[in-house]
Amino acid sequence: MLTPLGLTPSFGFGDRLGLATPGHIAAVKGTKFAPIFAQQSVRENTRTGRTPQQVMNDARRAVEAAGWEAPWGADADHLKTVDDLPPFVKAGYTFYTVDPGEHVDNAADRDRLSVLQEKVKGFNWDELPSIYLENPVERGFGVFEHDSLLRAVVKYGKAIRHATGMYQHLAQFMDGFDFEVSVDETDSPTTALEHYFIANELSRAGVRFTSLAPRFIGRFEKGVDYIGDLAALDVELARHAAVTAHFGTYKLSLHSGSDKFSVYPLMVKHWGERLHVKTAGTSYLEALRSLAMVEPALFKQILALGLQRYPIDRASYHVSAEVEKVPGDLELPAYLDHFDAREVLHVTFGSALAQFGDEIQAALVRHNQVYTANLLRHFRKHLDLLG
C-alpha cells in the first residue's frame, strides 16, 4: 500500500532505470525497514529523461507483480521550488524532500560579528534571544550563546523560511504526507546545535516534518564508503541523536546513504530506529556490474564514455575521483569495486543513458535475474548492518 511511512525506520531505493524494484523488494522483504520504491530528484529526472509519473508507474508495476502488500512510499527528492511540486503531487508521491540548500549562507561560519549583525537584519532576531539564550539547559548537543545563535540565524534563517513556504504550499492541496528538509548538499557541515535550531524553528512555524537531513562532517560521496574521521563522526552522530531524542517527532535522514558500511554501525548505535537512508546511484552501479558480468562489450563502452564525460558531469556532485586513477586493465567486473571507477560511472549516468539507454535497458531485461541477484546481495549487505 502506497502511504506515508511516518516514524517507521525506512530505506529509500532510488531506481534510475525503472528495472530495479524486483531486486529492492527481494532485499527489503523480512527486514524492519519500510521501503521507498519510487524516489527521484528533479536533477535525476532531467538526466534520465523520465517523469515523476513514469518513475511511479515502474515502481507500482513491480510492486503489483511481486504481490508486495506492506506499506511503501514514493519520495519526490530534492525539490527546490514550488514549481517542482505539481507533477509529483499529481503522480501521487507520499514523501516530499525539500532542499533549501541554495538559501543556506555558508559564509556565516566565518563571518565577523559586524557582518553577521548586518546580515541578521530582516530576520526575526528580536524574539530569538528570549527563546534560545534564557535559562539554557545542556541536553547533550550544546547550548547557544549570543554569537553562535546569531550565526545560526544568518546561516539557516532563509533556508528555514523557504522550507516553511514549501510546506505551507504543499499542505494547501494535500493532507497526510511525509515531509523532509535536507541541507545535506551544502558546503558547511550542520552542527548539532544548528540542527536543533532548524528543527525548533520549523516546529515553531507549524511545519510537521518526518525527517531531517543535516550535512554531517566528513565526506559522504556518491556510491563509496565514508571519507573522514570515524571517531569524530561517532561523537557528532551522538550529538545529532540527542537533538532528535529531544523532539521525538522525526527521523534523521542520511543522504548519499549507499555504501557507507563503516558508518552504519554508528547510526544504529546512536539513532536506533529513528532513521531514514537514501540511496540511488548504487542501484545503477549494480546494473553496470551486471552488464560487466554478462555484456562486457557494452560495459566497456559505458566506461569509456564515462571517463570522457566525468570532468563535465561531475559538476553538481560531491565527488573526488580522478580519471587518471582509473586503471585501464582491471578484470571485469572489478571496476565496480574500485573507488575512482565507481564515482566516474556513478555521476555520468545521464550521459550513458543518453547514448546507450536502449541497449542498457534491453540487456537488463534480458539478464534480469543477474541484476536482481546483484541488487539482493548488495542491499542485504546494507540492511544487515542497519538491522
Question: Contact, 27 vs 383, CB < 8 A?
Answer: yes
Q: Which residue has the cell 538559501?
A: 103
Q: Which is nearer to Zn ion, 184 or 286 (CB)?
A: 184
The reply on whether position 194 binds Zn ion by CB under 5 A is: no
Cell 545521464 -> residue: 350
Task: Tell me the CA distances in angstroms from 224 to 41, 125, 290, 333, one per residue in order.
Answer: 20, 41, 18, 16
Coil, strand or helix: which one is 379? helix
Give the binding range for Zn ion (CB under 5 A) out of 81-89, 116-124, 154-162, 177-185.
177-185
Of 55-114, which residues contact Zn ion (CB under 5 A)? none
d(CA 5, CA 73): 7
The nearer residue to Zn ion, 39 or 372, going by C-beta atoms, is 39
Span 117-176, contacts to Zn ion by CB under 5 A: none
Judge contact between 275 and 252, C-beta under 8 A: yes
Residue nearest to Zn ion (CB): 255
| Of 60, 255, 260, 274, the one binding Zn ion by CB under 5 A | 255
How many residues bind Zn ion (CB under 5 A)? The answer is: 2
Q: Does 184 bind Zn ion (CB under 5 A)?
A: yes
> Is omega for the bond preceding 87 within 30 degrees of 0, making it cis?
no
Query: In the bound complex, what is the minimum distance in angstroms from residue 319's beta carbon to Zn ion?
Result: 13
* 119 versus 255: smaller Cβ distance to Zn ion: 255
Closest approach of Cβ 160 to Zn ion, in Å? 18
Q: Is 24 in the site for Zn ion (CB under 5 A)?
A: no
CA-to-CA separations, 25 to 11, 63, 72, 157, in angstroms, rounded:
11, 8, 10, 40
Catalytic residue among 15, 84, 180, 221: 180
Pick between residue 44 and residue 105 the one whose CB is nearest to Zn ion.
Answer: 44
Which stretch in 19-27, 178-186, 246-254, 310-318 sits in contact with Zn ion by CB under 5 A?
178-186
Instruction: Of 256, 314, 320, 247, give the one whose Cα is nearest residue 78.
Output: 256
Q: Give me 337's grid cell.
A: 569495486
> Measured from the CB of residue 256, what is the shortest distance to Zn ion in angstroms?
6
Q: How far is the CB of 120 from Zn ion (least distance, A)?
A: 28
| Structure-derived torsion over alpha carbons of residues 175, 181, 185, 187, reported in degrees to the nearest 10 | 150
With vertex at residue 47, the alpha carbon angle to CA 332 and CA 377, rounded to the nearest 5 degrees, is: 40
Q: Enumerate the H helices of 107-191 as residue ranges.
A: 113-119, 128-132, 146-173
The answer to whether 77 is a known catalytic residue is yes
Place of cell 520504491: 37
Nearer to Zn ion, 183 or 383 (CB): 183
Closest approach of Zn ion to the CB of residue 199, in Å: 18
Q: What's the CA gap between 135 and 344, in Å, rounded?
A: 51
Query: Among residues 58, 77, 178, 313, which one is catalytic?
Result: 77
Site membership for Zn ion, residue 260 (CB under 5 A): no
44 binds Zn ion (CB under 5 A): no
Query: Which contiguous run of DSSP H or E holds residue 289?
Result: helix 281-294
Nearer to Zn ion, 164 or 186 (CB): 186
Query: Between residues 40 and 164, which has the closer beta carbon with respect to Zn ion?
Result: 40
Min CB(61)–Zn ion separation in Å = 26
Shortest separation between residue 142's beta carbon and Zn ion, angstroms: 25
Largest Cα span, the chain: 67
Q: Which stretch binds Zn ion (CB under 5 A): 14-22, 61-69, 250-258, 295-303?
A: 250-258
Residue carrying C-alpha cell 569524530: 232
Concerning whether 229 is annotated as a catalytic residue, the answer is no
Q: Which stretch binds Zn ion (CB under 5 A): 66-74, 236-244, 254-262, 283-291?
A: 254-262
Residues binding Zn ion (CB under 5 A): 184, 255
Q: Please list the active-site residues.
A: 77, 180
